[in-house]
Chains A and B, each alone.
Chain A
Amino acid sequence: MTGLDVAVLGFGLLMLAAAVAVVTTKQLVHAALWLVVSFAALAACYLLLTAEIVAWVQVLIYVGAIVVLLLFGIMLTRSPTGPSSDVDTRNRWPARTVALAVGALLASTAIGPFWSTYLPLSASSAGSAKVLGTALFRFWVLPFELLSLLLLAALVAAVVLTRAKTGRSDRPVLARSSSGRGPAIGAGRR
């Protein structure tokens, strides 16, 4: 076991711990910030495995955009600091079962085919921009384009959902959401 192994393992455990904290914390904003820790630990793992470009994209997209979007959503709909009482669900056990099953499925698909695949890290440039770009746009173009279709579908679905709701009643969607506590700002004035 080399120092690199220890480091990858350490960041992996950090990622796991942060992910557990995401779902166990009572404060939604803390959950979003634990997600940052989890993403950052994953980026560190990528970096240690010489996948430099994937690591930076991970930080750019997930930490810089997705989490900021999540925080924006939370701040728009919840009151300021303090624990939320409605983050625990009664379906805790079914949720755990499903989560574990999905985790096991993903782990087995990732581990199964690549169990005996080894990549020499010392002399490798497998994670450099050039190698990754060539692989992505020469051999994996079709999956790449399909992914963009998936994102387009999600975008259209989001537009349809918001339009359908405002179509039925003239109240904005925001004013109806949340469990009685209401958005902290602006709700009283409507």
Chain B
Amino acid sequence: MGRLHLRYDMMAVLTIGIRLAAVLTGFLVLPLLVGQLEHKAMAHMQARLGPMEAGRFHGWAQLVADGVKFVQKEHVLPDRADRAMFSLAPALALLPYLVILVVIPLGPSLLGVDLDAGLLFVLAAMGVSVLGAVMAGWASGNKYAQLGGMRSAAQLMAYELPLVLVAGSVAMAAGTLSLPGIVAAWSLWWLGWQGIGAVVFFTAGLAELHRPPFDMPVADSEIIMGPYTEYTGLRFAFFLLAEYAGIVVLCALTATLFLGGWRGPYEQQLGWLWMLLKTFALSFVVIWMRATYPRLRADQLQQLAWKVLVPLALIQTGRDRRGEGGGVRCGYLGPAWCTGC
């Protein structure tokens, strides 16, 4: 009996180990794929070719070469920097995204862990990651870095609210906070019902990641990369990796919450493929936005958050009405016509 238990535990540990290894692999590979996609897609949108040399075939190894270059570079620690915080900040920016990937479901049973409150966990971790940028901005002892840190703090304060509100709307619609549970409850007409929420979530998420057009905290042409001004070598690479991991996480989350994650034809066999396709389609939109829209000013950023996104998020949340049957009904059709929900 005891031996059986032991074998059971060994199996459990092995399963968890395999799952975590898979998540780590995804964490290391997916951001690079998005990065390469950005290189090539943006280049073609601007009538360039992008990287063509590294790896011989259309520059596929460009990011690997970049990584090797970053490793060789010297670590520079500014005189006025706060030593401990300066070295800790890149880790604080990067690790939350790794932790988030553990709970995002790739298929009905293809996920690291199914948390009861997975949605809250994900939102909490995303907030922690921004703390890394704020810390970096402060610890560098550089006024551009400090400006960038302040801007990212102000931006986080403004965009966290609509993000959490529309995430709450989805949770109410699904009746659960667990991410696989939300995907299981998803159906096609949510695209219309939760459509506003999807746009608000994606936009606010972009702002939290400091992606263009919300890249005022890192604006390279005015405050030279903001919080990352003083960073070199591997630490800078960590921040870059955090940005692309953030894109993967945001797109995967939007796909999970609003686009039905693994749902699609033959979802039992091909669920992971749908999830990846949706994630990469959204990543392409992120890149497209960068190539299309000019950077928003500070006041425009705040106005967009407080005058557009927050009201929209409130409208979205207000449309989730609870019907007599206990399920949440869509406010569009009203209780009289709503039979399918």
B117 adjacent to A81 (CB under 8 Å): no
**B residues less than 8 Å from A29 (CB atoms):** 82, 85, 138
B320 within 8 A of A: no
A-facing residues in B117-135 (Cβ within 8 Å): 117, 120-121, 123-128, 130-131, 134-135
> Once the chains are docked, how many angstroms separate the CA of A148 from the CA of B216?
33
B98 within 8 A of A: no
A76 within 8 A of B: yes
**B residues less than 8 Å from A129 (CB atoms):** 116-117, 176-177
B141 adjacent to A80 (CB under 8 Å): yes
Q: Mark B146-166, 1 if CB is under 8 A from A, else 0.
A: 110110011011001000100
Main secondary structure of the interface of A (DSSP, over half): helix
The stretch among A61-69, A105-113, A151-159 that forms the contact with chain B is A61-69
Nearest Cβ in chain A — how far from B69, in angstroms? 29
A68 adjacent to B120 (CB under 8 Å): no
B81 within 8 A of A: yes
> Once the chains are docked, how many angstroms separate the CA of A52 from the CA of B164?
18
Contact of B146 among A36, A67, A82, A184 (CB under 8 A): A184
Known contacts A75-B149, A128-B116, A68 near B124 by CB under 8 Å: no
A72 within 8 A of B: yes
**B residues less than 8 Å from A27 (CB atoms):** 82
Known contacts A65-B127, A72-B157, A60 near B80 by CB under 8 Å: no
> Once the chains are docked, how many angstroms separate the CA of A185 from the CA of B146?
9
B138 adjacent to A71 (CB under 8 Å): yes
A16 within 8 A of B: no
A33 within 8 A of B: yes
A48 within 8 A of B: no
> Once the chains are docked, how many angstroms separate the CA of A52 from the CA of B176?
14
A53 within 8 A of B: yes
How many chain A residues have a CB neighbour from B under 8 Å?
A: 28
Contact of B135 among A33, A60, A128, A185 (CB under 8 A): A33
> Once the chains are docked, how many angstroms separate the CA of A57 from the CA of B141?
32
B309 within 8 A of A: no
Nearest Cβ in chain A — how far from B309, in angstroms? 16
**B residues less than 8 Å from A76 (CB atoms):** 150
Nearest Cβ in chain B — how far from A149, in angstroms? 19
**Category for how many chain B residues contact A:** 35 or more
A19 within 8 A of B: no
B80 adjacent to A80 (CB under 8 Å): yes
Known contacts A60-B124, A129-B116, A185-B147, A75 near B138 by CB under 8 Å: yes
**B residues less than 8 Å from A53 (CB atoms):** 116-117, 120, 177
Contact of B124 among A30, A63, A82 (CB under 8 A): A63
**B residues less than 8 Å from A185 (CB atoms):** 143, 146-147
B207 within 8 A of A: no
Known contacts A63-B131, A65-B160, A68-B156, A56 near B120 by CB under 8 Å: yes
**B residues less than 8 Å from A56 (CB atoms):** 117, 120-121, 123-124
B149 adjacent to A67 (CB under 8 Å): no
> Once the chains are docked, how many angstroms separate the CA of A138 from the CA of B143?
51
> Once the chains are docked, how many angstroms separate the CA of A57 from the CA of B131?
16
A184 adjacent to B143 (CB under 8 Å): yes
A59 within 8 A of B: yes
B115 within 8 A of A: yes
Known contacts A63-B127, A64-B124, A129-B177, A81 near B157 by CB under 8 Å: no
B173 within 8 A of A: no
> Once the chains are docked, how many angstroms separate the CA of A184 from the CA of B124?
31
Contact of A60 among B130, B149, B164 (CB under 8 A): B164
A52 adjacent to B116 (CB under 8 Å): yes
Nearest Cβ in chain B — how far from A32, in angstroms? 9
The residue on A at minimum CB distance from B122 is A56
A binding-site residues for B, Cβ under 8 Å = 27, 29-30, 33, 36, 52-53, 56-57, 59-60, 63-65, 67-69, 71-72, 75-76, 80-82, 128-129, 184-185
20 additional contacts, CB 8 Å, given A56-B124, A80-B142? Answer: A29-B138, A33-B85, A52-B116, A53-B117, A64-B130, A64-B131, A67-B131, A68-B130, A68-B156, A69-B157, A72-B154, A75-B134, A75-B137, A75-B146, A75-B153, A80-B80, A80-B141, A81-B139, A129-B117, A184-B146
11 pairs of residues in contact across A and B, judged by CB atoms under 8 Å: A27-B82, A53-B177, A65-B127, A65-B160, A68-B153, A72-B157, A75-B138, A80-B138, A81-B82, A129-B176, A185-B143
What are the 3 closest A-B residue pairs judged by CB atoms, nearest first?
A64-B127, A60-B124, A59-B124
